[in-house]
């Protein structure tokens, strides 16, 4: 039950969203037991983001929510890979990217809880 949502300063084309969504679908497998099969991905583009008191031209805040929890080492690896992906695809310097993890104990779906 992972969900990856990205707030981005850039406007993304539908093609770019599809590329990033596909690559995030592969990267989520870094977290044991997680796969694209249950992955939700969202994009909030053209957001105004400030970091260190300055408005960013290129920046991102990426939230990764998972049912249960994952080891810190897996989260660290996923963080590195997300930053690499956003650098390669969007030209966002990793120093302007926050990746925030949320471990969720209960998750509802299809009228009930998992």
pLDDT given at position 113? 92
Q: Model pTM?
A: 0.95
| Residues 87, 95 contacting (CB under 8 angstroms) | no
Residue-wise pLDDT tens digits, 48-88:
999 999 999 999 999 999 999 999 999 999 999 999 999 99
CATH 3.40.630.30 fits 3-109, yes or no: no
Reduce the DSSP state of residue 57 to 3 states and report it.
Answer: coil
Contact 77, 38 (CB under 8 A): no
Q: Which two tokens stand for residue 98?
A: 């926050």
Residue 31 CA from chain centroid, whole number: 13
Q: Could you state, in order of their start, the residue ranges of all structural domains in the chain? A: 3-109
């Amino acid at each position: 039950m992972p969900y990856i949502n990205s707030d981005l300063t850039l406007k993304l084309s539908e093609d770019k969203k599809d590329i990033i969504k596909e690559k995030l679908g592969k990267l989520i497998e870094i977290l044991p037991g997680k796969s694209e099969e249950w992955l939700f991905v969202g994009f909030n583009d053209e957001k105004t983001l400030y970091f260190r008191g300055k408005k960013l031209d290129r920046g991102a805040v990426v939230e990764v929510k998972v049912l249960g929890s994952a080891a810190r080492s897996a989260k660290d690896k996923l963080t590195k890979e997300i930053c690499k992906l956003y650098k390669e695809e969007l030209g966002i310097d990793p120093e302007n990217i926050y990746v925030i993890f949320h471990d969720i104990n209960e998750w509802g779906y299809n009228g009930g809880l998992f």
